[in-house]
Amino acid sequence: MTTLSAGPAGRPGRPFGTVLTAMVTPFTATGELDVHATGLLAERLVNEGNNGLVVNGTTGESPTTSDAEKETVVRAVVDAVGDRATVVAGVGTYDTAHSVKLAKAAEKAGAHGALVVTPYYSRPQQDGLLAHFAAVADASDLPIMLYDIPPRAVVAIAPETLLRLAEHPRITAVKDAKGDLYAGSQVMAGSDLAYYSGDDPLNLPWMSVGGVGIVSILGHVLGRHLRAMVDAAEAGDYATARKLHYDLMPAHRAMGRCGGGSGLVFAKAALRLRGFGVGDPRLPQIPATPKQTDLIARDLDEIGPLR
- Residues labelled as active-site residues: 147, 175
Helix (H, G, I), strand (E, B) or coil at 280: coil
User: How many whole angstroms from its chain centre is CA 1?
Assistant: 21
Torsion of CA 119, 157, 19, 74, to 10 degrees: -20
99: nearest Cα among 61, 137, 66, 49: 137
Helix (H, G, I), strand (E, B) or coil at 261: coil
- Helix, strand, coil abundance in the chain, percent, nearest 5: 50, 15, 40
Residue 145, strand partner residues: 115, 173
Cβ atoms of residues 145 and 16 within 8 Å: yes
Q: From residue 179, how far is each of 77, 202, 219, 263, 268 by CA, in Å?
A: 29, 7, 19, 17, 25
User: How many whole angstroms from its chain centre is CA 102?
Assistant: 17
The angle formed by the CA atoms of residues 118, 199 and 18, to the nearest 5 degrees, is 95
Q: Is the peptide bond before 15 cis (omega within 30 degrees of 0)?
A: no
Helix (H, G, I), strand (E, B) or coil at 169: coil
The sign one gets for the Cα dihedral 127, 132, 133, 137 is: positive
Helix (H, G, I), strand (E, B) or coil at 157: coil
Residue 20, strand partner residues: 52, 215
Rg of the chain taking only CA atoms, in angstroms: 18
